[in-house]
Amino acid sequence: MEEEFEYGSPEEQKQSVDRYEEMIRNDDQYFFDALAFEGIIDYYTFNNDPVKALQVVDFAVNQHPFETIFLLKKAQLHATLQNYDEALSALDKAEMLEPSDAEILLLRGTIYSSMDRFDEAEENLMQALETSDHKEDVYYQLGSLFEMKADFHMAIHYFKKSLKLNQQNQDALYELAFCFDVVGQQEESIAFYKHFIDNDPYSFVAWYNLGNAYHKMERYEEAIDAYDYAILIKENFASAYFNKGNALVNLDRFSEAIEIYKQTFEYEQPSADTYCAIGECYEKLNLMDTARDYYKKAVKLDHTLSDAWFGIGVTLSYEERYFESLHFYKKALEFDEDNPDYWFAIADARCKLGQYEEAEEAYLRLVELSPTDMDAWMDFSTIYYEQKNNVQAIETIAEAIKCNPDMPELYYRMVAYLFADGRYNDALNMLNVALAMDPAKHDILFEYLPKLQDNRMIVDIINKYTDNK
């Protein structure tokens, strides 16, 4: 039994799909026009069922053996399933029907890129460029190829070429922004997007990327203005609302940020990241119960979100519920064990609980992860000093100075510990070193050991450097 159906409108596409599925159920053989087969293949592809789409391709190839479109679709589907050898084989057959076809070369180049066979990918894409009627697509693929090769300057070159031919390529706009970011060319990024906007002022993607570039330059007010334009053009642009919220946070405008974050819920389902961001804002406003509620909402949506677990711990620490906070800090570590902020919080909570051995272990891990964190070294040494273990306090600060030889604060702290240990000559020598580095910071010494302000010898040495006799 043979029937013919032609794919045109969505209704005709659905009719073709229904008749195809009837054919499969009945184990029958219908004839479909090539266009109808395209519609059926596209239907399954759109519904994320590449296996069924490939089955349709096999029927199509049998009925229309000289239509290269089905071999191209076969290659695309196999590439989606990462069956690269099968994809290349399909392209070889297509090339026998249409030698040097630009679309075949473009797809082969893309597949070679996915296989990390970059030289062959570039060769095919360059050949495609010679004959293609859609050079903007080839330029985009070349940009993607060089991005994969981590040659971001060349990627920028080709993404710009693609956009020059097709300003509506939003993917190229986003990839270009990413490449500018990787190479640290935020000023160039800003200049590019401002010029782009001059030619296309209604490109919400360009305004959004301009906002992101301003954000990375810490020009938060300008970033907010750019996000506002993106939102004005596309009211449901949830990412622009979210990033505007982040910019407001950086300006310490937490109440405004909360309202902006909540606006994203009008256009997309609440996400764990957004709940966590709102929680952080309430935390900054010292509304710990509300902050904790939002952090809990975040981990309910994504139990692996370490920052939300950490946030719960922070709110408990603020309420001096240190023992409870430790549970949540440890939970955060399960998902991000090398985060120095988490180790710092654990060390602090252990100290507050008088668990000095455990605090020492946490600080050791912290300074291993973040050896340039001066505050970490200071606090680490303090646990020894407060236990009258001056020798260990001195050794810890000595290690800190090795890692951070240009931080005068560490030298002043060493002076205090040496005095406390009765090593007066060593302390005075170290004081001269600290004063030579930065005499303006000598108050640090008195903040830590106020009684030293009454030491005439120390005051005289300081006066030599500060001219305050």
Span 372-386, average pLDDT = 94
Is the pLDDT at 7 greater than 70? The verdict is no
Contacts of 171 (CB under 8 A, 6+ apart): 140
Span 177-190, average pLDDT = 92
Is the pLDDT at 5 greater than 60? The verdict is no
pLDDT at residue 6, as a whole number: 43
pLDDT at residue 99, as a whole number: 83
Q: Which residue has the higher pLDDT, 66 or 339?
A: 339
Rounded Cα distance, 242 and 226, in Å: 13
Q: Which of 365, 301, 298, 297 is nearest to 330 (CA)?
A: 365
The pair phi, psi for residue 151, each rounded to 5°, is: -100, 80
Is the pLDDT at 14 greater than 90? The verdict is no
* 360 phi-psi bin (left φ>0, alpha ψ -120 to 50, beta other): alpha
For residues 288 and 296, is the Cβ–Cβ distance under 8 A? no
| Domain annotation covers residue 314 | no
DSSP labels, 189-227: HHHHHHHHHHH-TT-HHHHHHHHHHHHHTT-HHHHHHHH
Task: Show the tokens assigned to 177.
Answer: 């922004």
What's the number of domains the chain is made of?
Answer: 1
Torsion angle of C-alpha atoms 421, 426, 429, 430, degrees rounded to 10: -50
pLDDT per residue as tens digits for the range 28-85: 888 888 888 888 898 988 888 888 898 889 888 888 988 888 999 999 898 889 999 9
| Domain annotation covers residue 225 | yes
Rounded Cα distance, 316 and 385, in Å: 27
For residues 346 and 379, is the Cβ–Cβ distance under 8 A? no
- What is residue 388's three-state secondary structure? coil
Rounded Cα distance, 120 and 122, in Å: 5
What Cα–Cα distance (Å) separates residue 54 from each residue in 75, 79, 83, 102, 418?
10, 11, 12, 23, 77
The amino acid occupying position 31 is F
Percentage of the residues of the chain whose pLDDT score is greater than 70: 98
Percentage of the residues of the chain whose pLDDT score is greater than 90: 70
Q: How confident is the model at residue 444 (pLDDT cuts 50, 70, 90)?
A: confident
pLDDT at residue 8, as a whole number: 59
DSSP labels, 296-349: HHHHHH-TT-HHHHHHHHHHHHHTT-HHHHHHHHHHHHHH-TT-HHHHHHHHHH
**In 10 A of CB 258, how many CB atoms?**
24
| Domain annotation covers residue 373 | no
| Domain annotation covers residue 450 | no
* 3 phi-psi bin (left φ>0, alpha ψ -120 to 50, beta other): beta
| Domain annotation covers residue 232 | yes
Q: Show the domain range for 202.
A: 185-251
For residues 378 and 413, is the Cβ–Cβ distance under 8 A? yes
For residues 465 and 436, is the Cβ–Cβ distance under 8 A? yes
Span 119-147, average pLDDT = 92
**Angle at CA of residue 99, ends 98 and 103, nearest 5°:** 70
The DSSP 8-state label assigned to residue 373 in this structure reads -
The DSSP 8-state label assigned to residue 442 in this structure reads T
| Domain annotation covers residue 362 | no
CATH classification at residue 232: 1.25.40.10
Quote the mean pLDDT of the chain.
Answer: 92
| Domain annotation covers residue 205 | yes
| Domain annotation covers residue 448 | no
pLDDT at residue 358, as a whole number: 95
Task: Show the tokens assigned to 304.
Answer: 């692996």
